[in-house]
Amino acid sequence: MQANFIRQIAQKDSSEFQVNLSAISLYKRFFTYVWKHKIQLILASSTIFFLSFLQVIIPQITRYVIDVVIPQRKIELLPWLGLGIAVITLLIGSLNFARNYMMSLVGQKTLFDIRNELYKHLQTLSLSFFENKRTGALMAMVTKDVDALEKLITTDVAEIIAEIFTFIVIVIYLIYADWQLTLLILITLPIMVYIAQFFGKQMRGAYREVQKQGAEINNHLQETLTNIKLIKACANEGYEIDRFSEYNQQNMDANIRAVRLWSGFAPVIDFMNNLGFITVLAYGAWEVIGGHMTIGDLTAFLAYLNHLNQPAKRFSKVMHVIQKGATALERIYEVLDTQPEVKEKPDAIALPPIQGNIRWQGVEFAYNSGQQVIHHFNLDIQPGMTVALVGASGAGKSTIANLAARFYDPQQGTILIDGIDIRDVTLQSLRSQMGIVSQETLLLHGSIKDNIAYGKPGVTNADIESAAKIAHAHQFIINLPQGYDTVIGERGMKLSGGQRQRLAIARALIKNPQFLILDEATSALDTESEQLIQQALQQLLKHRTCLVIAHRLSTIQNADLIVVIEQGRIQETGTHNKLLAQGGRYADLHARQFPQKLSLQSAMTQLADI
């Protein structure tokens, strides 16, 4: 773990999303998720139609009061006109409530769909994907990036859509009423569109940097908080505080740059709006003086101008929402478009109950191009055999086990279980019949009972206790305050290394697998616990196939077959005694681990010579 952590903090995530999709194409794809809830969307959109026409009526009432009611002293109409405005205002408020509520439903259901699809897709991706991604960045994508899409539907953007529709209705009316004045109103529109495009491009890059720096903070938090014991053991609290402060500073600088761009965009749009107002006011006043327009007409035009300016004003305020959304969509779509390296065939079958024959035929594998790890590997394990893989670190032992579980696919060769190519069966049916205990003990935050039962959801308490007894975990469990209901904390931090590993073994055993993979499964156990588990495993492994990966040769002396691997190739095979007698690589490894036995043998030989 320490080496892995040091490697992680030494590597700065240099991956940056290089998606060149336009905002239009991003949002077009996003709309396919929104359209799934078309009934609520259509109901919400229908309110926009009525709102637009209600917005047209109020300035007309104002014009009528100025041009007719006041000059003709029709005081009796004022209460009715006031009542009409009140009714229209209530209708506008009711329609706005209905629209906001329905759009919120659409927004929340859309986010629910996207987040579910994203998490489901992450579960289908191969291990190689997660080896090249940082956990903090993925967490930020599923949470913050999806949340960034909320306002695209639920609040400001919905307001813009409504006001754009109102804008079209009012423009149509104004062209009918006075096309010359309408052209003056719209003369600044192309300039505002160009400005919006210019700022939009700049802000999108700024918010992409904001997303990146936010992910860096998440990465740092995830790495340091999950490895807090290492940090304290190395007395590196001050160092990590300084690193966090640096990431936080970069995040703040990125946000300030984005805010600076947005703050500069808003006043430019306001200036263009005011320029249009001045133009209409000047031209309208000249028209009124010339007798070509009434004061009521000018007042109505100015009121309509305010409605025409609303979309531009609001757009300047939500430009950051749109650009944040576009950046978030880039990241989300990049993951959704990533295909797993290990794929099930469309016609994959369910693997029948396995008998335990595992065969590797001409297997060649490389994690990266040009870096071959396994070379023409051939091994046939018969049902019920216990086969041990030994060799130096990096020889390829764990890789062979990972290939059998189909965490990766070989570039060449096949792996057969009971004569069936594992690429022809479903992953669920393959792995559900395997028990895997890895060197890195993986436990979840929850109770001991939940962690053991995770290997077979729905299992009974009696089965859980039975598996714990076989793994020699029952005794320490019942001595805990809450027994099997004791919460062990994140990654089982409340337990010792040996206790955690015994729980992992119990979790694998509860599946009652026909094929068991033990990858350094007893490396964290003390000698007494290891001996007890070895005795239990000897009973358990009868009539089962087991692949054992071990550095401690004392754990595999009773294996039916020992396979020595060097640099991805089989160096020698045989039983413990046979390999020792050969005096080859296995004998050398054994001598290094048990030098006292070698000295004793030498002494006995010398004594015999005397």
For the chain, the structural domain boundaries read 22-336, 355-433+515-522+544-610, 441-512
> How, if at all, do strands 371-381 and 358-368 pair?
antiparallel
Taking CA atoms, 610 is separated from 449, 598, 600, 604, 606, in Å, by 62, 19, 15, 10, 6
* The CATH homologous superfamily of the domain defined by 441-512: P-loop containing nucleotide triphosphate hydrolases (3.40.50.300)
- The residue type of 301 is F
Q: What are the DSSP calls for 346-394, one per residue?
A: TT-BPPPPP---EEEEEEEEEEETTEEEEEEEEEEE-TT-EEEEE-STT
Taking CA atoms, 155 is separated from 102, 311, 377, 385, in Å, by 11, 14, 60, 64
Q: Which long-range contacts (CB under 8 A, 24 or more apart) does 576-585 make?
A: 585/391
| Residue 421 and residue 580 in contact, taking contact as beta carbons nearer than 8 Å | no
CA distance 436 to 461: 21
What's 487's DSSP letter?
A: B
pLDDT at 604 (0 to 100): 43
Domains 22-336 and 441-512 share a fold: no
CA distance 366 to 349: 27
Chain centroid, CA 165 distance in Å: 37
CA distance 565 to 391: 5
pLDDT at 330 (0 to 100): 83
What's 264's DSSP letter?
A: H
0.75 exceeded by pTM? no
pLDDT at 380 (0 to 100): 93
Q: How many CB atoms lie within 10 A of CB 575?
A: 14
Backbone angles phi, psi at 359, to 5 degrees: -135, 125
CA distance 229 to 235: 10
| Residue 399 and residue 365 in contact, taking contact as beta carbons nearer than 8 Å | yes
CATH 3.10.350.10 fits 22-336, yes or no: no
Return the structure tokens found at 93: 């408020």
Q: What are the DSSP calls for 506-525, one per residue?
A: HHHHTT--SEEEEESTTTTS
Mean pLDDT per block of 10 residues along the chain (610 residues) reads 36 38 75 86 78 75 79 81 84 83 84 88 83 76 80 64 71 76 72 70 71 75 69 73 83 79 71 72 78 77 70 61 77 87 88 90 84 89 90 85 90 92 90 80 80 83 86 84 81 73 82 83 64 64 82 77 89 88 83 60 45
CATH class of 355-433+515-522+544-610: alpha beta
Question: Nearest 5 degrees, angle CA 477-CA 478-CA 484?
Answer: 65
CA distance 138 to 140: 5
| Residue 515 and residue 356 in contact, taking contact as beta carbons nearer than 8 Å | yes
Dmax over CA atoms of the chain, in Å, equals 140
